[in-house]
């Protein structure tokens, strides 16, 4: 499975444990896919305004699809924050021509009920909107040409909730056995399980995010959802080589040459300085060993893996472009 | 930069009137670990403690010496009880808590009817607000448990659900309560209840249209299931909202202290800042901010700029012939230190922004550990750091 739309994937679902940077990765992926002439939609479903934050644009509201960036390849990236209420009203309007009744439903609190409390329904509506965006075709009446997409990137809920979210059909199965909601859930599931979809998992090389990734992979596989790639985010390349670390770790390590160098560059050399520097190196050795262990666990999943560098100082426009370039480069070499 | 007051967890733990400590914050900031560290410290100071975790890593249960955690409190043997304290640990089982609630509050056959209702099954296991609601419910139950006429625990430490935002914990129960108690639900159950006769006459056209639309959209069976579920719950609880209000009141009580947890990053601290503001608005007692995973360099006196300059100079030193260690190795170590120092400065700035917005909220910093928590000793170490 590849990232690129050349593999026939039209819906890229991006998930990851909270704090792993899945929204940033979703944004970078949308940018990378927006090569010349291509149109890519990046959608969020939790109302977090994460997309407008990453692209540094005004808040996305209602069901408006607005341009948030121009891809480095010249394509367009559009953003959407799916609002379940707007999605429900649109859905009702589209299929039932409700007219005034829509307002009445709102007044009675039905819309609130359906989008907040009714289990599973909210998720059907949220993915339903994304489904609709993926399935748009120029031939359909009322479709605006600027809202046709070559690919859609979904910034999905975190790993802990993603199987439940994508398993809409499963969630609804016990509830609606027949009827329009059931049909909608079935159609969504068919798309999600097809080769047009790929679910990517973002992780850090830390124990908990990796553990959650492993669990999510098992759950997603059980739901027959096609898995895409593992994205290791915020990877740090240390300035110290393995050879240097090996010298430090040796039993007979002698810190005299180190002291000599430090003195030669004008630093005041004391035990605190010497021990501090060697210990910093030894800490790094430990950390790298732990990361290797996590990397092995991820390798065991048998999925393609991509690496994104740590952007020092937090994300900004330059950082996003750097991640985009890293993705583009790695995908091209697959 | 102004110095915020220091949060000393021991002051909080010594105050016997504090009976609940709630650890909250956005996902992935180490809430559960903080809760466990506070609970252990309290127990080892002689308090009778229960810790209610929501979604702990398997590793944490093992660190506490338990094979796994479940809905019933299990004693943690690994702690030092020499000062008369004890610790019980448990994990919230949302569905079981809800089931037990149903069983306790309704006649056996009615309970069975509710438990089998598909709508109930979905709400009790998947609705996003149920977890928060049940966490509060369980907290209330734990406080009510008695041994020999007095409370079984004198301190309960709670971790909050891994929600997208820390505020969900405060909002979800109310939301669930108000919907289950709202206009629409009453309508679903019996249109006549929605208002007097005059009201009904005016609205009846709307009601009919609405019911028709609902059944068209949802399907008649789903609508009937929902009606049955709501009717059953309503007779059982006599008002969800009231109940949600009660748990909310428990949280604004002076016997409760909130501890907001964050990491030294912009987003997590922004979330912490929102939460602190919200707690103040609701007059809920905030004990302070815990910042986890704070980078500390081993040589605080060597600034990043100086270290980088020294590294550059070291790279220019002539290679050494008699040893394996070369000036380039020295330069690499200096660069590594400079990276840590830069990171520390950045984190300090992020924390500084929180301090500027909330100068009176006490803070305590917990150093980043090389490894995830594996045993009680590591949790004790975090506890020591929390005490400043």
Tens of pLDDT along A193-227?
Answer: 999 999 999 999 988 899 999 999 999 999 999 99
pLDDT at B184: 63
pLDDT band (50, 70, 90) for residue B129: low
**What is the average pLDDT across B108-127?**
78
**What is the average pLDDT across B133-157?**
88
- Which of A120-134, B179-193, B324-338 ranks highest by mean pLDDT? B324-338
Q: Which residues of B39-59 are buried (b: 16+ CB within 10 A; e: fewer)?
A: bbbbbbbbbbbbbbbbebbeb
pLDDT at A4: 45
Q: Would you say residue B259 has pLDDT above 80?
A: yes
Residues B205-242 have pLDDT tens digits of: 556 666 666 666 666 676 777 777 777 766 665 555 66
Q: Tell me what percent of the residues of chain A surpass a pLDDT of 90.
A: 56
Q: Whole-angstrom Cα distance, residue A38 to residue A151?
A: 8
- Taking contacts as CB-CB distances below 8 angstroms, the residues of chain B near A107 are 206
Contact assessment for residue A124 and residue A192, using Cβ atoms and an 8 Å cutoff: no
pLDDT at A281: 96
pLDDT at B200: 44
What residue has token string 């300059």?
A: B309
A238 closest CB neighbour out of B213, B310, B336: B336
Bridge partners of B146, per DSSP, are B151
Q: Tell me what percent of the residues of chain B surpass a pLDDT of 90.
A: 45
Q: How many CB pairs under 8 A join A and B?
A: 207
Task: Provide the whole-model pTM.
Answer: 0.84
**What is the average pLDDT across B292-297?**
93
Residues B351-376 have pLDDT tens digits of: 999 999 999 999 999 998 877 788 89
pLDDT at A5: 42
pLDDT at B26: 81
Q: Would you say residue B172 has pLDDT above 70?
A: no
Contact assessment for residue A24 and residue A315, using Cβ atoms and an 8 Å cutoff: yes
Q: Would you say residue A6 has pLDDT above 70?
A: no
Contact assessment for residue A60 and residue A52, using Cβ atoms and an 8 Å cutoff: yes
- Taking contacts as CB-CB distances below 8 angstroms, the residues of chain B near A261 are 314, 317, 327, 330-331
**What is the average pLDDT across A100-127?**
68
> What ranges do the domains of chain A cover?
5-235+301-332
The token duo for A243 is 């050879």
Bridge partners of A265, per DSSP, are none
pLDDT at B195: 43
pLDDT band (50, 70, 90) for residue A97: low
pLDDT at B182: 61
Q: How close B351 gets to chain A, by Cα (Å)?
A: 14
pLDDT at A294: 96
In angstroms, the Cα distances linking B355 to A44, A272, B38, B272, B361 are: 31, 31, 23, 11, 8
**What is the average pLDDT across B330-336?**
97
pLDDT at B114: 84
| Cβ within 8 Å of residue B184, ≥6 positions away | A108, A109, A110, A112, A113
**What is the average pLDDT across A23-30?**
96
**What is the average pLDDT across A236-262?**
95
In angstroms, the Cα distances linking B151 to A295, B15, B19, B49 are: 48, 17, 11, 11
Q: Which of residues 261-280 of B touch A (CB under 8 A)?
A: 263, 265-266, 268
**What is the average pLDDT across B126-135?**
71
The token duo for A148 is 């046709």
Contact assessment for residue B233 and residue B115, using Cβ atoms and an 8 Å cutoff: no
pLDDT at B193: 41
Q: Do B266 and A314 touch (CB under 8 A)?
A: yes
pLDDT at A89: 79
Scanning every residue of chain A, which has its alpha carbon at the shortest distance from the alpha carbon of B302?
A273
pLDDT at B233: 67
C-alpha angle A127-B164-A224 in degrees, rounded to nearest 5: 40
Q: Whole-angstrom Cα distance, residue A42 to residue A49?
A: 12
Phi-psi region of A144 (alpha: psi -120 to 50; beta: other; left: phi over 0): beta
Q: Up-side HSE of residue B34: CA atoms within 13 Å toward CB?
A: 32
Nearest to B383 by CA among B23, B16, B14, B36: B36
Is domain A5-235+301-332 annotated with CATH 3.40.50.300? Answer: yes
Nearest to A281 by CA among A310, A253, A321: A253
Bridge pairing between strands A76-81 and A39-44: parallel
Contact assessment for residue A203 and residue A230, using Cβ atoms and an 8 Å cutoff: yes
Q: Would you say residue B199 has pLDDT above 50?
A: no
Q: Up-side HSE of residue B323: CA atoms within 13 Å toward CB?
A: 20
pLDDT at B197: 44
Interface test with A, best of B293, B329, B341, B367 (most A CBs within 10 A): B329
- Taking contacts as CB-CB distances below 8 angstroms, the residues of chain B near A281 are 333, 336
Q: Would you say residue B81 has pLDDT above 60?
A: yes
Lowest mean pLDDT among A8-12, B102-106, B290-294: B102-106
pLDDT band (50, 70, 90) for residue B204: low
pLDDT band (50, 70, 90) for residue A155: very high
Q: Would you say residue B162 has pLDDT above 80?
A: no
Domains and CATH numbers, chain B: 9-170+241-299+349-386 (3.40.50.300), 182-238 (no CATH), 304-345 (no CATH)
Q: Whole-angstrom Cα distance, residue A253 to residue A248?
A: 6
Q: By the CB < 8 Å criterion, does A274 face chain B? A: no
The token duo for A276 is 């501090």
Contact assessment for residue B94 and residue B134, using Cβ atoms and an 8 Å cutoff: yes
pLDDT at A140: 65
Bridge partners of B51, per DSSP, are B89, B157
- Taking contacts as CB-CB distances below 8 angstroms, the residues of chain A near B204 are none
Residues A227-244 have pLDDT tens digits of: 999 999 999 999 999 999
Contact assessment for residue A68 and residue A105, using Cβ atoms and an 8 Å cutoff: no
Q: Average per-residue pLDDT in chain B?
A: 83
Q: Which of residues 181-210 of A touch B (CB under 8 A)?
A: 181-182, 206-209
């Amino acid at each position: 499975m590849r990232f690129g739309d050349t593999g026939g994937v039209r819906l890229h679902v991006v998930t990851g444990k909270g704090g792993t940077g899945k929204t940033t990765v979703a944004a970078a992926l949308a940018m990378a896919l927006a090569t010349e002439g291509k149109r890519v939609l990046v959608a969020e479903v939790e109302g977090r305004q994460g997309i407008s934050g990453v692209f540094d644009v005004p808040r996305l509201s209602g069901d408006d699809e607005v341009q948030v960036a121009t891809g480095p390849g010249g394509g367009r990236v559009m953003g959407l924050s799916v609002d379940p209420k707007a999605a429900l009203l649109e859905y009702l309007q589209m299929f039932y021509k409700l007219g005034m009744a829509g307002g009445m439903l709102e007044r009675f609190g039905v819309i609130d009920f359906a989008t907040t409390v009714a289990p599973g329904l909210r998720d059907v509506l949220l993915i339903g909107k994304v489904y609709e965006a993926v399935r748009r075709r120029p031939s359909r009446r009322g479709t605006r040409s600027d809202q046709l997409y070559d690919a859609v990137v979904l910034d999905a809920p975190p790993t802990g909730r993603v199987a439940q979210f994508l398993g809409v059909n499963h969630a609804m199965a016990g509830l609606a056995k027949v009827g329009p909601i059931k049909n909608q859930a079935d159609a969504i599931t068919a798309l999600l399980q097809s080769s047009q979809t790929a679910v990517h998992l973002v992780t850090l090389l830390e124990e908990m995010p990796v553990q959650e990734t492993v669990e999510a992979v098992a759950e997603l596989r059980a739901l027959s959802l096609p898995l895409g790639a593992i994205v290791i985010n915020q990877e740090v390349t240390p300035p110290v080589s393995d050879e240097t670390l090996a010298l430090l770790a040796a039993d007979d390590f002698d810190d005299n040459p180190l002291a000599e160098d430090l003195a030669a560059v004008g630093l005041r050399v004391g035990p605190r300085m010497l021990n501090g520097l060697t210990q910093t190196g030894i800490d790094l050795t430990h950390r790298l060993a732990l990361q290797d262990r996590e990397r092995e666990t991820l390798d065991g999943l048998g999925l393609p893996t991509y690496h994104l560098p740590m952007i020092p100082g937090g994300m900004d426009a330059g950082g996003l472009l750097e991640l985009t370039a890293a993705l583009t480069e790695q995908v091209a070499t697959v | 930069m102004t110095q915020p007051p220091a949060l000393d967890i021991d002051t909080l733990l010594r105050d016997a009137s504090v009976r609940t400590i709630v650890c909250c914050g956005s996902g992935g900031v180490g809430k559960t670990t903080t809760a466990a560290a506070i609970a252990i410290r309290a127990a080892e100071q002689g308090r009778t403690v229960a810790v209610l975790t929501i979604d702990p890593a398997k590793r944490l249960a093992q660190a506490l010496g338990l094979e796994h955690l479940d809905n019933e409190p299990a004693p943690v043997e690994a702690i030092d009880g020499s000062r008369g304290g004890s610790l019980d640990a448990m994990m919230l089982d949302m569905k079981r808590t809800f089931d037990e609630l149903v069983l306790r509050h309704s006649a056996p056959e009615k309970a069975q009817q509710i438990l089998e209702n598909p709508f109930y099954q979905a709400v009790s296991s998947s609705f996003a607000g149920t977890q928060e609601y049940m966490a509060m419910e369980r907290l209330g139950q734990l406080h009510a448990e008695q041994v020999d006429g007095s409370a079984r625990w004198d301190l309960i430490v709670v971790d909050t659900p891994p929600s997208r935002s820390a505020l969900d914990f405060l909002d979800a129960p109310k939301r669930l309560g108000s919907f289950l108690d709202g206009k629409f639900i009453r309508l679903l159950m019996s249109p006549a209840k929605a208002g007097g006769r005059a009201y009904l006459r005016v609205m009846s056209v709307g009601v009919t249209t609405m019911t028709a639309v609902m059944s068209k959209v949802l399907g008649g069976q789903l609508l009937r299931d929902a009606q049955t579920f709501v009717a059953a719950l309503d007779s059982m609880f006599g008002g969800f909202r009231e109940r949600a209000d009660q748990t909310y009141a428990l949280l604004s009580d002076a016997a409760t202290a909130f501890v907001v947890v964050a990491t030294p990053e912009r987003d997590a601290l922004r979330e912490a800042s929102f939460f602190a503001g919200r707690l103040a608005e609701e007059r809920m007692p905030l004990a302070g901010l815990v910042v986890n995973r704070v980078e500390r360099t081993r040589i605080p006196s060597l600034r990043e700029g100086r270290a980088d300059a020294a590294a550059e100079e070291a790279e220019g030193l002539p290679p050494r012939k008699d040893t394996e260690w070369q000036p380039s190795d020295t330069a690499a170590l200096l660069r590594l230190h400079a990276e840590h120092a830069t990171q520390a400065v950045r984190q300090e700035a992020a924390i500084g922004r929180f301090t500027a917005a909330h100068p009176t909220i006490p803070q305590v910093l917990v150093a980043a550990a090389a490894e995830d928590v594996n045993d009680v000793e590591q949790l004790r170490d975090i506890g020591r750091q929390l005490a400043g």
